[in-house]
Amino acid sequence: MEKADSKSRILVEMKQVTKAYASRKKLFTGSSPQVLALNSIDLSIAKGEVFGLVGQSGSGKTTTGRLLVRLESPTAGEIFFNKTPISQLKGSGLKTYRSRVQMIFQDPYQSLNPHLSIAETVLEPLIVQKIGTPDTRTEKVVHTLDTVGLSPGEAFFNRYPHQLSGGQRQRVAIARAIVLEPQFIVADEPTSMLDATIAIQLFQLLEQIKETFGMTVLFITHNLAAARYMCDRIAVIHDGHIVEVNTADNIIRHPEHPYTKQLIKVQPGFKYTR
């Protein structure tokens, strides 16, 4: 990809973004030290790209994702979506933005409201964004459930999350995320709680969705192998810093940063046979 070309097709850009959390007050000293979850990071994701964000626990992956979907606002720096700054969006501007970006959460057992049926869950974004009429909405829900492999969609309508397996729940969460046909999806470790056989099917589903809808994906994981399988480019994040960005193959084959090398070393594999 040529440099100038990729510049013009950038969808998401983070410039010098810092996020600090006030950590809990120390009981006696009264001071409240800050946790720097992200330390002045730069990131740009091109349209149609699957971009991987890899790092260990606490490195700031989820924070990045939450900033991008505006669940948090940056402490410093700016985030651009389609060249528009988003961190000051409010009211209807924010609502419109939220129809364009969606998130898939890590824990399929926590990310669905136990009191809503599957149909209600997937319907919810359409109602909130006032898209379509009740009839077309239902149609859309059935169609989306089919797309994510829960077919026939009607069979899942009246089921509740607790009646589904982890893999099926994550499919519902994906359906909820794509029902608005967003341009950008943040997938935060969508399979880390699921079995390999189920994970690989979800990866394929994500890929297929990405192709059909032309979506851009930020794929967050601590599993380098999964990132390599899914992504065009990978960024390695460590302690709130992006330490390395490269194409998926290059990151694995020619890691430059020592941290990347360590991550590669500890990836489980079957190389243990003596």
Partner 1 sequence: MSLLSVDHLSIGYQTKKGMLKAVDNIRFDLEKGQSLGFVGESGCGKTTIGMALMGLLPENAVILGGHIRFQGEDLASLTETQWQTVRGAKIAMIFQAAMNALNPVMPVNEQIKEAIITHQPDISKTDLADRMKELFDLVDIPARRMKDYPHEYSGGMKQRAIIAMALACDPALIIADEPTTALDVIVQDQILREIKKVQEATRTGLVFISHDIAVVASVCERICVMYAGQIVETGTRKEVFKSPRHPYTRTLLNSYLSLDNLNDIRVPDMKESPDQMIDTDECRFAGSCAYAKGCAGRSPDWIDISPTHKAFCCNPDMIRRGHGKS
Partner 2 sequence: MQNKYFWWRFYKGWRIFIENPLGKTGVIILSVFMIMAMASFFVPLIDPMYDPMTGIDPDIKLSTGPGLTHWLGTDNVGRDILAQLLEGAKVAFIVGLSSAFFSIVIGTLIGMIAGYTGGIIDAALMRFADIIMVLPSLVILLILASLFGQFNIWIIVFIIAILRWPAVSRVIRSQTLSLKHRPFIEASRVAGASHVRIVLRHIMPNVLPLAFLYMTFRVTSAILVEASLSFLGFGDPSQVSWGMMLQWVWKSGHMFQAPYWLIPPGLCISLLTLAFYMLGRAMDEVLDPRLRKEGQTG
Ligand X SMILES: Nc1ncnc2c1ncn2[C@@H]1O[C@H](COP(=O)(O)OP(=O)(O)OP(=O)(O)O)[C@@H](O)[C@H]1O
- Which residues contribute to the site for partner 2 (CB under 8 A)? 69-71, 94-95, 98-99, 101-103, 105-107, 110-117, 119-120, 124-125, 128-129, 134, 138, 158, 160, 162-163, 173, 176, 180
180 binds partner 1 (CB under 8 A): no
Alpha helix (H) residue ranges in 36-115: 61-68, 91-100
Q: Which does 62 bind (CB under 5 to 8 A by kind): partner 2, partner 1, Mg ion, none?
A: Mg ion
CB atoms within 10 A of CB 82: 14
64 binds Mg ion (CB under 5 A): no
The tokens describing 72, both together, are 């948090």
Question: Which range, of 97-105, 116-124, 138-146, 266-274, touches partner 1 by CB under 8 A?
Answer: 266-274
Please give the Cα distance from 196 to 181 (Å, whole number).
Answer: 27
Question: Which range, of 8-16, 94-102, 172-180, 217-225, touches partner 1 by CB under 8 A?
Answer: 217-225
Residues 2-21 that bind ligand X (CB under 6 A): 21
Q: Is 132 left (phi over 0), alpha (psi -120 to 50) or beta?
A: left
Shortest Cβ 64–partner 2 spacing (Å) = 15
Tell me the number of residues near Mg ion by CB under 5 A: 1
| Residue position matching structure tokens 């964000």 | 53
For residue 85, which of 102, 100, 68, 71 has the smallest C-alpha distance? 68
Question: Which range, of 62-70, 162-170, 197-205, 254-262, touches Mg ion by CB under 5 A?
Answer: 62-70
Smaller CB separation from ligand X, 63 or 138: 63
Q: Which does 35 bind (CB under 5 to 8 A by kind): partner 1, ligand X, Mg ion, none?
A: ligand X
Q: Which does 269 bind (CB under 5 to 8 A by kind): Mg ion, partner 1, partner 2, none?
A: partner 1
63 binds Mg ion (CB under 5 A): no
* Residues facing residue 81 across a β-bridge: 12, 84
Shortest Cβ 150–partner 1 spacing (Å) = 12
User: Binder to Mg ion among 62, 138, 170, 223 (CB under 5 A)?
Assistant: 62
* Residues facing residue 188 across a β-bridge: 220
Alpha helix (H) residue ranges in 72-190: 91-100, 118-128, 134-147, 153-157, 166-178
**176, 117 in Cβ contact below 8 A?**
no
Please give the Cα distance from 99 to 39 (Å, whole number).
Answer: 28
CA-based angle 123:64:76, to the nearest 5? Answer: 120
**121, 176 in Cβ contact below 8 A?**
yes
Q: Which does 21 bind (CB under 5 to 8 A by kind): Mg ion, ligand X, partner 1, none?
A: ligand X
For residue 231, which of 45, 10, 16 has the smallest C-alpha distance? 45
197 binds ligand X (CB under 6 A): no
Amino acid identity of residue 52, one-letter, is G
Smaller CB separation from partner 2, 34 or 113: 113
223 binds Mg ion (CB under 5 A): no
Which residues make up the interface to ligand X (CB under 6 A)? Answer: 21, 23, 35, 37, 55, 57-63, 222
